[in-house]
A = this chain, B = another copy of it.
Amino acid sequence: MSEPADAANETSLASTGRGRPAGATRKGLETRLRIIRGAREALEEGGIEALTTRRIAASAGVKLATLHYYFDSKESLLIAVLEDLIAEMDAAYRQDVSLPSAPEDRVEALIRASWRYIQRTRGKQIAQTELTLYALRTKGSEWLAARQYNAYIDFYGHLVFEDDADEDLRRIGRAVARQMLIGIDGIILQSYALQDLSASNDDIEAHIIAMRGYLRRLLAERDRPR
């Protein structure tokens, strides 16, 4: 879950096509990416309510008209931003994270790593949640929210059981991943709102115990199917 820097480029450049004249020169692609990253910065800074094209252009170091040269509309830019976030997460998975060998221990390590990450990237997490909500209510963009979640589920799921595990195990990995993600999203909101570190730490411990138990239960069910 560490900052995967710019490994996301490749993926987010290919993106929805909305990104304008296919005639994409080297420099053009860089500018396009600068605008996306500028939008992310501006979003983290001031929230979606204050996220205007002017602010984005300034944050990216380009003129307003340049922004509109690369994106037909503000909406298509926001979609590209969400895609960039997904690509970044995808890249983070690819560069892999070394983890304990027992699945239950991996689950625990993953939750702890996520919790540390959440604590030091408050603005980023809020921004991402805002964008997800934006996608959820923007007609025709709901699929983006689903893609974002599936990327996270793949990410967590693959870290619970390696890619070469059998189908049953991968299915279990995804179920646990979904549940881990639920807890993490819930803790993000609650920890930022309550600002009670000791309570949040208790919540993380409870979540870890619950996830270890869930994984154990699913594995036991597999060995002794109904």
Contact = CB atoms under 8 A, between A and B. Distances in A.
Interface of A: 46-49, 126, 129-130, 132-134, 136-137, 142, 145-146, 148-150, 175, 178-179, 181-187, 189-190, 192-195, 199, 202-203, 206-207, 209-210, 213-214, 217
A187 B157 CA distance: 17
A142 B47 CA distance: 14
A213 B210 CA distance: 8
Q: Which of the listed residues A182, A195, A214 has the most CB atoms from chain B within 10 Å of its own CB?
A: A182
A195 B148 CA distance: 13
How many copies of the polypeptide does the oligomer hold? 2
Nearest to A49: B48
Given A136-B192, A182-B187, A183-B186, 4 more contacts: A149-B190, A179-B203, A209-B217, A213-B213
Contacts of A146: 193-195
B178 A190 contact: yes
A203 to B, nearest CB: 6
Contacts of A186: 181-186
A63 B148 CA distance: 41
B145 A193 contact: yes
Contacts of A217: 209
Nearest to A193: B145
